[in-house]
Structure 1
Amino acid sequence: MKTFIQILALGLMMLSCTVYKNKPVSLETASDLNLPSKVQGKSGAVIKFKRIIIEDGKYYGVKEEGSNQFIYELKQEEIREIKVKDKKLSTALAIIGPAIVGGIIVLKVTENEINSSIDYY
């Protein structure tokens, strides 16, 4: 039962997994793409934003927590790199991950049924 719960938890984690592209992009590109972005500051801190927008020549990171939306000004001189979400890979993991976990669960259940139907003397 413990293994089943661990496998199920792994599948659920893969559903919420976000994969970011390896190649960093500029603030301008990140705002044009309108994708979730991960911004690493020169201090090493990493902040994830729902998207990056530009207004009046200034860039802002939009963060959503529940029904609240927070906007943070982003300054190029304070940013080490920006990576945007890899939509294809994130979607693939969201589909393939739970499918693999489902397959493992089916194998475990089948294995348990086979083992319980064998009479040991």
Structure 2
Amino acid sequence: MPDWKPRDTARARTLRREATGPERALWQFLARSQIGAKFSRQIPVGPWFADFLCRELQLVLELDGFSHDVAPERDVRRDAWMAAHGFTVLRFTNDDVHANIEGVVTAVCQEVERLRSLKAER
């Protein structure tokens, strides 16, 4: 029987409650499936927490702030794990969200369309 580990929902709730300004700003565009795909915030994915996750398309959105500059090797390991488990990861910096949130949302919409078309081809 495979090992089952409970999800750390308490930690996920804390991360949602303590969301950064850029996370809150992007959520305004992702909430309620406004861009045509359902996203959830701070969702456990394997040993990690995804800032935003579209389960249907296995699309993870990550917003990188200062903590990502301190230990970039952690992001490399995380992205490799995600890719090995069938997830696509889009990374944006907090500065991207502050300076060009429309561009970030457009990039997410384009990736949603791309993944949907790939899914339809299968």
Q: TM-score, normalised by structure 2?
A: 0.23
More strand by percentage = 1
More helix by percentage = 2
When Rg is computed on C-alpha atoms for both structures, the one with the higher figure is: 1
* RCO comparison, higher one (Cα < 8 Å, 6+): 1
Q: TM-score, normalised by structure 1?
A: 0.23
